[in-house]
A and B are shown apart, each in its own frame.
Chain A
Amino acid sequence: MMKGNEQIVCEHTLTAPPAQVWRALTEPELLAAWLMKNDIAPVTGQEFSFRAQPMGDWNGIVDCEVLEVIPESKLVYTWNGGASSRDSGKNDDYGHKMETTVTWTIAPDDHGGTLLKLVHHGFHLDDFAFKMMGMGWKSKGPAIEQALAAVA
């Protein structure tokens, strides 16, 4: 199955210095305080997971593997969450299971703070979702346009 190329990018300027931000990204207790319970270790090849309350179709677990570690500069891990149907043997090829990658980049700014950038990429949205989010749907008629405007 092709890996998706949809991505989410977030940039944040933080007043804390890079060393502090690095700790908040790589120490389990600190990371848990703002993201989710986890057993992260910033070692390439290390597998870990995030655990949250199950919600809807999601079993609350995100499985990860550390891909790249440059202390106080870059951290990359896979982010594989998905439907709980995966566990009941109903998994199929329709791509509702997420296999994505999270990349954190940390850089000092001019004021002793940190520029933090997150890129969450590889979203595998199927044809349907692509069309829904793209222009394709806008031209499909007022029914869909209205529905999307109402629920978006």
Chain B
Amino acid sequence: MSEGPGISPAATMRAMVTGDRDRWVKLLMFCCASVSFLGVLLIFLFIFRESLPAITKVGIPKLFLSTDWRPASGHYGMLAFTFGTLFTTVAAMIIAAPLGIGAAVFIDQVAPEKVGRGVRRVIELLAGIPSVVIGWFALTLLVPFIRSVTGSSGFGMLAASLVLVVMSLPTITTLSAESLRAVPVELKEASAAMGATRWQSIYKILMPSAREGLIIAVVLGMGRAIGETMAVQMVIGNASQATASLLQPGSTLTTRIVQDMGEASGVFRSALFAQALMLLLLSVFLIISIRLISRERKHA
């Protein structure tokens, strides 16, 4: 039944063995957690490695800051596509942010419980629809629609932006709804008790309290939009010059890569990797922004 008292050699050894095993286990689990670091590191390293030929041969100004894209004669300026990415993203957010936050307010505050739950399910479903399916839908319905209304080809920045609205909407709505739900009930009740109408409560109390979360929701929606590839590529027209006109075809960083990668080799291929590097930097920039926003709130 009872083994001897605690300080016998056998017992001490057993304690040591168990302790050691615990230490090995902790190390193994730490390695698993470090895969995240390993992943980021490897991705950065390999993308950078593949971009290096282009960076050295073409030079950073001509590669990142030039809109001159003529691969046939060795010009690989990606600025037009960086612009395309930013333009379509911002244009998409102009619609998606109010739509997404509004839908979140609807789910959380305005709709009766069952309707709210239903819309939430719709959003979850929308989030899971593959990019190519949305792209195909846009190609068969949206592009002809734009064509008939505006007389243009239908392909272009407008179609691309609308596609990005659909793709970033679930992210924005879900995260906004979470932020709204996180606002303490006492705040909402206090506002109602003071005789504020529902809209006044929402506008003056609820949304400002959730402001940080709502901003982060939109920023992450932008991240989603920046990274979208297939759906955008199918409707944007894939032209290689910068354009601020909604009805003209254009390209983004992601669509340019997928458009040209199949044929590219050598420096051309490396230039496309450099565009991926640009995307990587944009993502890191977004993450740091989010961290800064959160930290600001904590000090406020």
Q: Do chains A and B stick together as partners? A: no
Q: What residues of chain A have their CB less than 8 Å away from a CB belonging to chain B?
A: none
Q: What residues of chain B have their CB less than 8 Å away from a CB belonging to chain A?
A: none
